[in-house]
């Protein structure tokens, strides 16, 4: 076993790594985008971006520029100025709403279905090929099909979340249920517990940690998928916001979106982590 | 006067068949609307029905009206009444657009109040790409949409969609206003003959950009399917792809040509007006049933769009329009980039400032000849695999009559004939001889 490290030392090291990373980034871009400085007609230069005016290309933004932009965005995250221009807080809220809806529906279907599949080896074998084929399909591949059949872009986005996040939950539930120890089921039978009683009092608690692990994987996938789905469908959400800032070639905003997506994803994962700890058991 | 009381289904009294197009209602005060006014005036002057009937019997309607007309400006009243639009059947409309300068009239009509003035409450929604616009339009999430001019033709013919979706071009948005942008490293390859192996991006398969680029390289002797690569890339991603060296150039909409120059990643090889001066690009598209189902909404929308188009076309308004549409709610671009596109005073990426005020124009009239050329190109490149009646499709999808009426209402000059000879890539195109034109090409599918 490794020796436990003290929390503050780990934090300190994290901070040092972060500072080094940002510092190198900032320094590397010092003077970037400057061209040969060839003399250009001032009228011409006025029509170009700062970097292009001196003969170069618009460079990657520096961390300090990103920081300023982040402050600007976070100081007013909930504004609405027309349907195409809304604050970053509102965009994240839209995305979270879609994810929770799609993920919730997936859970409602995957967990009971997984239960049935886990309890019946026949069904398990019969459905397995379908699950294995559909599981690795990318959200982007589902989107045109969803748009075509559902004919509503916001429902399509939710459907794509649903279809992509259902598989880990389904497989984990089925696995957890089928892996419940024989002895426990036998004990339940000798105590003459009915099917429902066995399911809820023995199998569910036994499989709960595995199910929660599946849910944790699923919410991660759902959050990954929402960005891609919203980039395609457009309208609202953090994914659309990324697309929109790409439209404007604003790399600083995209860096900020990456940070936001990461932080929200972390929060979602931690939330399910807490739930998982609540149902964990040890022999 | 008897016609007002006829019961035949002929909503505007023009006596024409309303199969697909809205009625060409006279707006000079004659026709059914004018008669309604005369009836109302008579009622006002002689409020008692018995007296009125007696007077009419004695003198006859025409004499009476002439007598009243001496005192009342009846002609003006009739005209005013004919031009007072009835209330729109649907006020809250959603219109999808792609964030490019082609959409200028559709977009600027929102912040500059052109929709509101017609009593419409329009929400203009930025959309991620042409395929999404098409699918959301088909699903009727949008009441009307900004489309590439060939899209309603393709959709109506059932090309590139699962089943035919009758959509119409109610007005052309812009003419010209596109460009071929090449990566900076190709500064010396200005002759398309040197472009073998190049990878190009166009916004969509069914776009003027695709057809113009194909025609241009084919004229230089390259086969656009074998000697170069053409990919459909959403306009906003073109500059990013050019920068990443994923493509060698693009024939794309502005502001992205200018944006490539602004960011120092490419230069403008040529403006598309050098290929075909006055070519259509984007269209204001509506479901084909709209003029029939919601005639008043359609009329109000047409007025707003045509007025916005005329306003955008005026060089004196271009800076103001650029300021109104470059913000984050619309194009989301630096204002100077949009301004360079609209004013035509722009940096070309090669160190010169060019002054081309005709770089982009906004003219709403959907010439049928434009549609016929597009159809010949769909045939030429194998998108449309069957024979079609070019002129019939063109007149069904391109609503020249309706656009002309809205233009006349606003006092604009309406072209007398929706067919005109075009000069495209230095060759004359006669819309009456589409097959001869198509057969004259060596490179085709």
Structural domains of chain A sorted by starting position, each given as residue range(s) with its CATH number in brackets: 88-279 (1.10.3720.10)
Reply yes or no on whether the pLDDT at B438 is more than 70. yes
Cross-chain residue pair B132–A153, CB shorter than 8 Å: yes
Task: Give the tens place of pLDDT for each residue, B207-259.
Answer: 999 999 999 999 999 999 999 999 998 887 898 889 888 999 999 998 999 99
ipTM of model: 0.70
CATH fold of B91-445: D-Maltodextrin-Binding Protein; domain 2 (3.40.190)
Greater confidence (A40 vs B8) lies with A40
Task: Give the tens place of pLDDT for each residue, B377-433.
Answer: 999 999 988 888 999 999 999 998 889 988 998 888 889 889 999 999 999 999 999
A35, A36, A46, A47, best to mutate vs chain B, most B CBs in 10 Å:
A47
Evaluate whether B272 touches B212 at the Cβ level (below 8 Å).
yes
> In angstroms, what separates the C-alpha of A139 from chain B's closest C-alpha?
16
Greater confidence (B162 vs B36) lies with B162
**Strand positions, DSSP E, B98-223:** 121-126, 144-148, 167-172, 175-176, 178-183, 199-202
DSSP B353-381: EEE-TTSEE------HHHHHHHHHHHHHT
> Which residue shows structure tokens 């959200």?
A139
**Per-residue confidence (pLDDT) for residue B41, from 0 to 100:** 63
Task: Tell me the C-alpha to C-alpha distance, in Å, between residue A211 and each of A96, A195, A234, A268.
Answer: 22, 20, 33, 16
Task: Give the residue on A whose Cα is nearest the Cα of B140.
Answer: A151
- Interface residue A85 vs chain B (CB under 8 A): yes
Evaluate whether A90 touches A77 at the Cβ level (below 8 Å).
yes
Task: Give the tens place of pLDDT for each residue, B152-195.
Answer: 999 999 888 878 889 999 999 999 999 999 999 999 999 999 99
The partner residue sitting opposite A152, judged by closest CB among B126, B129, B139, is B139
Reported as a pLDDT band with limits 50, 70 and 90, residue B38 is: low
Reply yes or no on whether the pLDDT at A162 is more than 60. yes
- Interface residue A25 vs chain B (CB under 8 A): no
Task: Give the tens place of pLDDT for each residue, A235-254.
Answer: 788 888 888 888 788 888 88
CA A27 to centroid of chain Cα atoms: 31
- Interface residue B408 vs chain A (CB under 8 A): no
DSSP A24-46: HHHHHTTTTT--------HHHHH
Tell me the mean pLDDT in the region B107-116. Answer: 89
Reply yes or no on whether the pLDDT at B30 is more than 50. no
Cross-chain residue pair A51–B340, CB shorter than 8 Å: no
Question: What is the rounded average pLDDT for all residues in chain A?
Answer: 84
Is the pTM for the entire model greater than 0.80? no
Nearest-angstrom CA–CA distance, B38 and B47: 14
Write the CB contacts of B228 (distance below 8 Å, at least 6 apart in sequence): B195, B196, B197, B198, B199, B200, B217, B222
Interface of A with B in 207-246 (CB under 8 A): 231-235, 240, 243-244, 246
- Burial code (b: 16+ CB inside 10 Å, e: under 16) for B356-372 equals eeebbbbbbbbbbbbbb
Q: How many residues does chain A have?
A: 283
Reply yes or no on whether the pLDDT at B89 is more than 90. no
Cross-chain residue pair A43–B162, CB shorter than 8 Å: no
Residues of B in contact with A144 (CB under 8 A): 131, 135
> In angstroms, what separates the C-alpha of A65 from chain B's closest C-alpha?
17
> In angstroms, what separates the C-alpha of A213 from chain B's closest C-alpha?
35
**Per-residue confidence (pLDDT) for residue B153, from 0 to 100:** 92
The partner residue sitting opposite A49, judged by closest CB among B124, B128, B262, is B262
Nearest-angstrom CA–CA distance, A74 and A90: 11
Tell me the mean pLDDT in the region A47-63. Answer: 76
Reply yes or no on whether the pLDDT at A33 is more than 60. no
Reply yes or no on whether the pLDDT at A229 is more than 60. yes
**Strand positions, DSSP E, A8-120:** none
Nearest-angstrom CA–CA distance, B131 and B235: 12
Reported as a pLDDT band with limits 50, 70 and 90, residue B268 is: very high
Write the CB contacts of A235 (distance below 8 Å, at least 6 apart in sequence): A153, A154, B125, B127
Nearest-angstrom CA–CA distance, B89 and B296: 6
- What string of H, E and C letters represents the secondary structure of B260-296? HHHCCCEEEEEEHHHCCCCCECEEEEEECCHHHHCHH
DSSP element (H, E) containing A56:
none
CA A28 to centroid of chain Cα atoms: 31
Interface of A with B in 131-150 (CB under 8 A): 144, 147-148
> In angstroms, what separates the C-alpha of A132 from chain B's closest C-alpha?
29
Residues of B in contact with A153 (CB under 8 A): 132, 135-136, 139, 141
What residues pair up with B181 in beta bridges, in sequence order? B250, B268
Reply yes or no on whether the pLDDT at B28 is more than 50. no
Reply yes or no on whether the pLDDT at B26 is more than 70. no
Nearest-angstrom CA–CA distance, B247 and B235: 13
Cross-chain residue pair B351–A235, CB shorter than 8 Å: no
- Interface residue A248 vs chain B (CB under 8 A): yes
**Per-residue confidence (pLDDT) for residue A29, from 0 to 100:** 79
- Interface residue B293 vs chain A (CB under 8 A): no
**Per-residue confidence (pLDDT) for residue B74, from 0 to 100:** 57
> In angstroms, what separates the C-alpha of B162 from chain A's closest C-alpha?
9
Q: What are the backbone angles phi and psi of residue B14, rounded to the nearest 5°? A: -90, -10
Per 3-state DSSP, chain A is made up of helix, strand and coil in percentages (nearest 5) of 75, 0, 25
Greater confidence (A137 vs A265) lies with A265
> In angstroms, what separates the C-alpha of A73 from chain B's closest C-alpha?
13
> In angstroms, what separates the C-alpha of B419 from chain A's closest C-alpha?
36
**Per-residue confidence (pLDDT) for residue B21, from 0 to 100:** 40
Reply yes or no on whether the pLDDT at B44 is more than 70. no
Task: Give the tens place of pLDDT for each residue, A174-205.
Answer: 998 888 888 888 888 888 878 888 888 888 88
Interface of B with A in 3-32 (CB under 8 A): none
Percent of chain B clearing pLDDT 90 (strictly above): 44
**Per-residue confidence (pLDDT) for residue B27, from 0 to 100:** 45
- Interface residue B436 vs chain A (CB under 8 A): no
Cross-chain residue pair A151–B139, CB shorter than 8 Å: yes
Cross-chain residue pair B333–A44, CB shorter than 8 Å: no
Nearest-angstrom CA–CA distance, A238 and A96: 9
Q: What's the longest Cα–Cα distance across chain A?
A: 93
Nearest-angstrom CA–CA distance, B78 and B75: 5
The three-class DSSP label of residue B314 is coil
Q: What are the backbone angles phi and psi of residue B281, rounded to the nearest 5°? A: -130, -75
The partner residue sitting opposite B332, judged by closest CB among A41, A83, A248, is A248
- Interface residue B336 vs chain A (CB under 8 A): yes
Nearest-angstrom CA–CA distance, B229 and B435: 27
What residues pair up with A148 in beta bridges, in sequence order? none
- Burial code (b: 16+ CB inside 10 Å, e: under 16) for A69-96 equals bbeebeeeeeeeebebebbbebbbbbbb
Nearest-angstrom CA–CA distance, B389 and B401: 19
A92 DSSP assignment: H
Nearest-angstrom CA–CA distance, A121 and B170: 61
**Per-residue confidence (pLDDT) for residue B75, from 0 to 100:** 57
Task: Give the tens place of pLDDT for each residue, B310-336.
Answer: 999 999 999 999 999 988 888 888 899
Task: Give the residue on A whose Cα is nearest the Cα of B96.
Answer: A235
**Packing angle of the helix pair A153-178, A88-119 (nearest 10 deg):** 40
Nearest-angstrom CA–CA distance, B354 and A82: 35
**Strand positions, DSSP E, B83-193:** 92-97, 121-126, 144-148, 167-172, 175-176, 178-183
> Which residue shows structure tokens 């006020």?
B91
> In angstroms, what separates the C-alpha of B196 from chain A's closest C-alpha?
26
- Interface residue B259 vs chain A (CB under 8 A): yes
| Domain regions of chain B by residue span | 2-83, 91-445
CA-closest candidate to residue B41, choices B6, B67, B16, B20:
B67
Write the CB contacts of B213 (distance below 8 Å, at least 6 apart in sequence): B180, B200, B202, B224, B230, B251
Greater confidence (B381 vs A136) lies with B381
Residues of A in contact with B240 (CB under 8 A): 246, 249
């Amino acid at each position: 076993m490794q020796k436990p490290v003290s929390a503050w030392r780990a934090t300190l090291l994290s901070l040092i790594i972060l500072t080094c990373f940002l510092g190198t980034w900032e320094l590397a871009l010092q003077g970037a985008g400057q061209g040969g400085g060839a003399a250009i007609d001032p009228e011409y230069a006025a029509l170009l971006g700062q970097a292009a005016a001196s003969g170069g290309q618009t460079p990657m933004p520096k961390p300090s520029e990103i920081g300023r932009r982040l402050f600007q965005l976070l100081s007013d995250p909930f504004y609405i100025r027309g349907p195409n221009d809304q604050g970053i807080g509102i965009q994240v809220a839209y995305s979270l709403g879609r994810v929770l809806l799609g993920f919730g529906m997936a859970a409602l279907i995957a967990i009971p279905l997984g239960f049935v599949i886990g309890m019946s080896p026949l069904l398990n074998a019969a459905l397995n090929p379908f699950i294995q084929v559909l599981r690795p399909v990318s959200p982007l591949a589902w989107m045109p099909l969803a748009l075509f059949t559902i004919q509503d872009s916001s429902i399509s986005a939710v459907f794509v979340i649903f279809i992509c996040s259902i598989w880990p939950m389904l497989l984990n539930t089925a696995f957890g249920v089928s892996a419940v120890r024989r002895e426990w089921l036998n004990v339940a039978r000798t105590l003459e517990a009915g099917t429902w009683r066995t399911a809820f009092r023995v199998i569910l608690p036994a499989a709960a940690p595995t199910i929660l692990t599946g849910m944790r994987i699923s919410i991660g996938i759902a959050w990954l998928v929402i960005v891609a789905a919203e980039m395609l469908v457009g309208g609202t959400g953090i994914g659309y916001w990324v697309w929109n800032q790409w439209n404007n070639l604003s790399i600083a905003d995209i860096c900020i979106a990456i940070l936001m997506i990461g932080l929200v994803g972390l929060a979602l994962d931690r939330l399910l982590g807490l739930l998982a700890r609540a149902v964990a058991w040890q022999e | 006067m008897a016609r007002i009381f006829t019961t035949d289904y002929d909503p505007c009294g023009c006596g024409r068949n309303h199969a697909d197009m809205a009625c060409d209602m006279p707006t000079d005060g004659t026709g059914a609307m004018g008669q309604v006014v005369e009836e109302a005036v008579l009622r006002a002057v002689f409020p008692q029905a018995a007296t009125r009937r007696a007077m009419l019997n004695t003198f006859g309607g025409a004499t009476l009206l002439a007598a009243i007309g001496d005192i009342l400006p009846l002609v003006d009243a009739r005209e005013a009444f004919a031009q007072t639009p009835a209330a729109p059947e649907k006020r809250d409309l959603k219109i999808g657009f792609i964030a490019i300068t082609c959409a200028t009239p559709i977009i600027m009509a929102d912040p500059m109040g052109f929709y509101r003035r017609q009593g419409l409450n329009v929400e203009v929604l930025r959309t991620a790409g042409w395929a999404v616009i098409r699918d959301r339009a088909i699903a009727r999430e949008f009441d009307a949409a900004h489309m590439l001019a060939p899209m309603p033709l393709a959709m109506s013919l059932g090309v590139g969609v699962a089943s035919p979706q009758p959509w119409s071009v109610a007005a052309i948005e812009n003419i010209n206003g596109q460009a071929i942008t090449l990566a900076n490293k190709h500064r010396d390859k200005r002759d398309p003959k040197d472009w073998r192996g190049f990878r190009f991006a166009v916004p969509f398969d069914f776009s003027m950009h695709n057809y113009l680029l194909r025609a241009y390289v084919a004229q230089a002797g390259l086969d656009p399917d074998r000697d170069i690569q053409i990919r459909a890339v959403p306009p906003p991603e073109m500059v990013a792809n050019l920068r990443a060296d994923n493509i060698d150039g693009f024939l794309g909409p502005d502001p992205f040509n200018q944006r490539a120059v602004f960011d120092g990643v490419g230069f403008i090889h040529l403006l598309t007006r050098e290929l075909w001066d006055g070519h259509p690009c984007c269209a204001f598209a509506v479901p084909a049933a709209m003029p029939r189902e919601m005639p008043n909404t359609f009329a109000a929308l047409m007025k707003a769009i045509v007025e916005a188009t005329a306003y955008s076309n005026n060089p004196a308004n271009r800076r103001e329009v650029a300021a109104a549409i470059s913000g984050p709610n619309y194009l989301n671009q630096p204002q100077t980039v949009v301004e360079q596109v609209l004013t035509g005073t722009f940096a070309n990426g090669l160190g010169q400032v060019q002054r081309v005020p005709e770089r982009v124009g906004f003219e709403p009239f959907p010439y049928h000849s434009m549609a016929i050329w597009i159809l010949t190109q769909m045939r030429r490149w194998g998108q449309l695999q069957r024979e079609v009646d070019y002129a019939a499709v063109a007149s069904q999808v391109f609503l020249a009559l309706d656009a002309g009426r809205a233009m006349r209402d606003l006092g604009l000059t309406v072209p007398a004939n929706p067919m005109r000879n075009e000069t495209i890539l230095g060759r004359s195109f006669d819309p009456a001889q589409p097959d001869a034109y198509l057969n004259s090409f060596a490179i085709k599918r």
